[in-house]
Amino acid sequence: ADLAISPQSSPHVLAPPAMASALSASAASFVTATFSRRKAKQQPCSVKCAMTCRASVSDPEAGSSKNEVSIRRRPPNGASLHNVGTDQFAFKMEAITKDGDRIDNESNKPINILEEIVWYKDVELQRRKEKFPLALVRTAMANAPPARDFVGAIKDQLKATGQPGLIAEVKKASPSKGVIQPNFDPVKIAKAYEAGGAACLSVLTDEKFFQGGFENLELIRSSGVTCPLLCKEFIVDAYQIYLARKYGADAILLIAAVLPNQDLKYFQKIAKSLGMASLIEVHTFGEMERVLRLEDIDLLGINNRDLGTFEVSLNVTVDLLAGPLGDQVRERGITVVGESGIFTIDDVNVLQNAGVGCLLVGESLVKQDAPDVGIKKLYGRPTE
């Protein structure tokens, strides 16, 4: 029998009343996982089975596909909350066998940094919602400046320059590199990007792993910067979309490795109702094939970074766009955004020749003392 649940009764679905009937797949996954755990108590299973079973986001009862990373929304065996020390959240890293032996709880360890970020995000959101409930966010959102045309700015720059539009990223740090720009001033960096010719800006809002914040969106917007802003957040809940709009974002990032198509469609609908665009990011052929089943796609981002090995290769974009999926993209007139591994004019040319209409560049620009000059060098333009 199908399980049904009202959105109002689930803490994982936050939507306006008009959308109350829409159920996020994340909530469905939660219900299915809870039901499965209760059922497991009645049906004994070996320790080995319990430790290796892994649910994917899109199908709670199926394992990860062979060639595609599937990010689990939360630790399968729950999180451990305590009130000791500086970090109150830790994953349950140990399991106890039926004989009382302690063993490593492999299934409760993040498979990569993206999964770890998503797991922390679940707890972070619980705390944020307590301090700033959705009702208050929606009220405050009325004072936010109108959303600007993010996609239009990219297309206009491509048409005017003959080169891919640029989304320049404002970020202080990353999990792999640590602090990238020690003299981090989001407004100063944003203004330098705009002066250098960026079409749009991407602003990291994750606090724990990237040392960002939603407040940076507001600081940049209120400083007079006219470039449309992308909220670079790891979105798993509709609440984050409203929060992004409240702080002045004009577009949001949705990651296909984290979100099944049902959630992508649902979150896109919310963003569109708020006047915002959605950049859907894929990493693999499987993710791109699945995402292209969606009817309405504003921007399709292809990340050249392998989530499993962290290796970066522009061939990821080149190969995906050279095949049948690339044909679909061109036929539908979808603007492709190239992400990661972009450092030189040669990189720009490789991606443009592959069919990319926009670039999202962060590390190679933000670490420079003069990001405006860095943009001109990246695109092979005169620096004077």
Catalytic site residues? 169, 171, 232, 281, 303, 339-340
d(CA 3, CA 28): 8
Those residues with Cβ within 8 angstroms of residue 246's Cβ, 6 or more apart along the chain or in another chain: 137, 140, 141, 144
For the residues of 310-322, what is the DSSP string, one character each?
--B-THHHHHHHH
Q: How many whole angstroms separate alpha carbon 228 and alpha carbon 225?
A: 8
Backbone torsion region of residue 239, taken as left when φ is above 0, otherwise alpha when ψ lies between -120 and 50, otherwise beta? alpha
Identify the bridge partners of residue 337 per DSSP, sorted by sequence position: 301, 358
What is the rounded CA–CA span in Å between residue 377 and residue 384?
Answer: 11
CA neighbor of 70 nearest in space, from 86, 84, 59, 81: 59
DSSP 308: T
SS3 for 335-378, per residue? EEEEECCCCCHHHHHHHHHHCCCEEEECHHHHCCCCHHHHHHHH
State how far the Cα of 10 lies from the Cα of 6, in Å rounded to an integer.
Answer: 7
Could you give phi then psi for residue 139, rounded to 5 degrees? -65, -45
130 Cβ contact list (under 8 Å, min separation 6): none
Taking each continuous run of H as one helix and of E as one strand, the counts in the chain are 15, 14
Lookup: tokens for 165: 């539009």
How far apart, in whole angstroms, are the C-alpha atoms of residue 52 and residue 101? 17
Helix (H, G, I), strand (E, B) or coil at 324: helix
